[in-house]
Amino acid sequence: MSDAVGPGDLVLCVNAAPNHATGRPAPLQAGETYRVIGVMEFACPCGRSDALLDIGVDFAWCQTRFRLLPKPKAQAMQRRTWAPREKETTR
């Protein structure tokens, strides 16, 4: 996943279990989205991932806790064009 995730991407937290390296409770909330600040190409001590994600909460988190959210697709908006109305002349 590390090659698909980059700074500025949105990720969904799917695992808010305690930190598996220290055992401390994680300040993350399952089901919340976070913006990735940076991707550190460093193998996680758990051995399940090849990168750690910096999301601005504590230091870095194993990427297995997150799922990449799809980027919103740009949609073309139709603009309304206003044409002058033709006036009927009555005599």
pLDDT, tens only, 29-41? 888 999 999 888 8
Exposed/middle/buried for 63, CB within 10 Å: 0-12, 13-18, 19+?
A: buried
Q: In the predicted model, is pLDDT for residue 1 greater than 60?
A: no
Specify the pTM. Answer: 0.66
Residue 16 is predicted with a pLDDT of 80
Q: In the predicted model, is pLDDT for residue 19 greater than 80?
A: no
Number of helices (H), then strands (E), belonging to the chain: the values are 0, 6
Local confidence band at 46 (pLDDT 50, 70, 90 cut-offs):
confident
68 versus 71: which is more confidently predicted? Answer: 68
